[in-house]
């Protein structure tokens, strides 16, 4: 449907915005372009509908070289949502949405019914909004209308430049779903620019990670999650992947690495002192080779504190354990189903490697929700 062959764009001032782009987008495919600010995403989109022209190389849409097609004609067949909304201020919401259908010669009733059909899709009541002007809408509402305008005439190719950037998460998800549905059902081809890896992973059939004007890695979301080409891609993917694929995380990645341990021959007073000092309510009992022997909890010690017993007398042997390579999902499922407060992580030789706690879960979730650092630190060893 869209084919870039060796496409480069050098702006008049010498800025190399896009360099040797080769990309084939199939009919019905949704391809996301993602990359740092200034890497050439908007420029790439604009070359497709000739809002800017490539310096070299060719772009074909539906088998036709765009440079051979009348630009006005070309644009009528391509939906476009620009990065800054771009509604016409002197036109009402309805007039904005029916712009292309009108150019295509749809009659008035058909256009009006299309407007009334589209507005509710993005949670805007037609009676309230159809006759308002863009300045009478919030930024997010304007953005939603911008998306509708691109969809109105049901073009086969849609270019979207960060269309959902200013929306609240709920509206954004509703629109993502709507877009996915439309694309799947009507076989629309969509080139979608985003900054948001979550959005790309959710929507894309393929993701193009761009760096300095060049496609750096082109892959399906799954490939990208599993095999980021290098550190640049890994960083781009990494901080968000927890949100979309916590099942891909392993226990060893989130466990507490140095849980507090105790020697089986220690007395109870000593064990309690360690707990108090390290602020934990249980200790993992290990032998000299770090093999896990059992668990002893503050509660059990409390009940026997006047006795002369040792840790080994009180410990629970053979506690449930999990391997470091197991998935985080499995660990939490076991913890919840068996009402475990913690789950020691033990390798095949029985050596203690770490500990999963409910705090580890909080870490995973907070990392997913606030990838930039809201995460609670795992600390040194709370059990």
Ligand X SMILES: Nc1ncnc2c1ncn2[C@@H]1O[C@H](COP(=O)(O)OP(=O)(O)OP(=O)(O)O)[C@@H](O)[C@H]1O
Per CB under 6 A, residues contacting ligand X are 11, 13, 15, 17, 37-43, 83
Select from 34-42, 44-52, 135-143, 259-267 the region that touches Mg ion (CB under 5 A): 34-42
Give me the helix-helix angle, 231-244 and 358-369, nearest 10°.
110
The nearer residue to Mg ion, 83 or 252, going by C-beta atoms, is 83
11 makes contact, choosing from ligand X, Mg ion, none, with CB < 5 to 8 Å by partner type, with ligand X
Spatial separation of the C-alpha atoms in residues 320 and 38, rounded to whole Å:
51
DSSP H/E element including 316 = strand 316-317
317 makes contact, choosing from ligand X, Mg ion, none, with CB < 5 to 8 Å by partner type, with none
37 makes contact, choosing from ligand X, Mg ion, none, with CB < 5 to 8 Å by partner type, with ligand X
Query: How many alpha carbons fall within 13 Å on the CB side of residue 265?
Result: 2
Smallest CA-to-CA distance from 43 within 161, 195, 147 is with 161
Spatial separation of the C-alpha atoms in residues 115 and 67, rounded to whole Å:
32
The nearer residue to ligand X, 85 or 295, going by C-beta atoms, is 85
Q: In the bound complex, what is the minimum distance in angstroms from residue 206's beta carbon to ligand X?
A: 18
The nearer residue to ligand X, 98 or 162, going by C-beta atoms, is 162
The nearer residue to ligand X, 194 or 286, going by C-beta atoms, is 194
Q: In the bound complex, what is the minimum distance in angstroms from residue 46's beta carbon to ligand X?
A: 8
Q: In the bound complex, what is the minimum distance in angstroms from residue 13's beta carbon to ligand X?
A: 5
The nearer residue to ligand X, 15 or 128, going by C-beta atoms, is 15
Using the CB atoms, write b or e for 319-329: b if 16+ within 10 Å.
bebbeeebebe
Spatial separation of the C-alpha atoms in residues 36 and 34, rounded to whole Å:
7
Judged by CB under 5 A, does residue 42 bind Mg ion?
yes
Smallest CA-to-CA distance from 246 within 356, 170, 330 is with 330
The nearer residue to ligand X, 39 or 74, going by C-beta atoms, is 39
Encoded one letter per residue, x for contact with Mg ion by CB under 5 A and - for no contact, window 338-377 reads ----------------------------------------
Smallest CA-to-CA distance from 165 within 41, 26, 18, 61 is with 41
Of all residues in the shown chain, the one whose CB is closest to Mg ion is 42
40 makes contact, choosing from Mg ion, ligand X, none, with CB < 5 to 8 Å by partner type, with ligand X
Give me the helix-helix angle, 139-151 and 169-186, nearest 10°.
0
Q: In the bound complex, what is the minimum distance in angstroms from residue 347's beta carbon to ligand X?
A: 45
The nearer residue to Mg ion, 42 or 297, going by C-beta atoms, is 42
275 makes contact, choosing from Mg ion, ligand X, none, with CB < 5 to 8 Å by partner type, with none
Question: For residues 335 and 359, is the Cβ–Cβ distance under 8 A?
Answer: no
End-to-end C-alpha distance for the chain, whole angstroms: 56
Q: Give the three-state DSSP class for 351.
A: strand
Q: Which residues bind Mg ion (CB under 5 A)?
A: 42
């Amino acid at each position: 449907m869209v084919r870039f062959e060796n496409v480069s764009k050098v702006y008049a001032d010498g800025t190399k915005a896009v360099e040797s782009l080769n990309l084939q987008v199939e009919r019905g495919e949704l391809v996301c372009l993602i990359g740092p600010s200034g890497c050439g995403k908007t420029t790439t989109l604009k070359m497709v509908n000739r809002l800017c022209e490539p310096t070299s190389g060719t772009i074909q849409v539906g088998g036709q070289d765009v440079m051979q097609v009348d630009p006005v004609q070309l644009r009528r067949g391509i939906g476009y949502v620009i990065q800054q909304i771009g509604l016409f201020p002197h036109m009402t919401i309805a007039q904005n949405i029916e712009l292309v259908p009108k150019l295509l010669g749809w009659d008035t009733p058909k256009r009006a019914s299309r407007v009334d059909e589209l507005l509710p899709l993005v949670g805007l009541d037609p009676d309230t909004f159809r006759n308002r002007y863009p300045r009478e809408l919030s930024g997010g509402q304007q953005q939603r209308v911008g998306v509708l305008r691109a969809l109105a005439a049901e073009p086969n190719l849609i270019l979207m430049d960060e269309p959902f950037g200013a929306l609240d998460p709920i509206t954004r998800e509703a629109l993502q779903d709507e877009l996915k549905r439309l694309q799947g059902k009507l076989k629309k081809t969509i080139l979608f620019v985003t900054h948001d890896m979550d959005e790309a992973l959710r929507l894309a059939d393929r993701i193009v990670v761009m760096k300095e004007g060049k496609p750096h890695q082109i892959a399906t979301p799954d490939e990208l999650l599993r095999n980021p080409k290098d550190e640049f891609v890994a960083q781009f993917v990494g901080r968000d992947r927890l949100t979309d694929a916590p099942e891909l995380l392993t226990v060893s990645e989130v466990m507490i690495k140095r849980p507090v341990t105790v020697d089986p021959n220690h007395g109870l007073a000593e064990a309690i002192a360690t707990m108090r000092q390290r602020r934990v309510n249980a200790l993992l009992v290990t032998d000299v080779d770090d093999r896990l022997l059992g668990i002893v909890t503050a509660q059990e010690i409390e009940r026997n504190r006047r006795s002369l017993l040792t840790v080994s007398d009180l410990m629970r042997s053979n506690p449930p354990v999990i391997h470091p390579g197991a998935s985080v999902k499995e660990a939490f499922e076991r913890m919840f189903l068996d009402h475990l407060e913690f789950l020691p992580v033990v390798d095949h030789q029985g050596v203690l490697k770490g500990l999963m706690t409910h705090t580890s879960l909080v870490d995973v979730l907070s990392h997913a929700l606030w990838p930039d650092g809201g995460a609670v630190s795992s600390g040194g060893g709370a059990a």
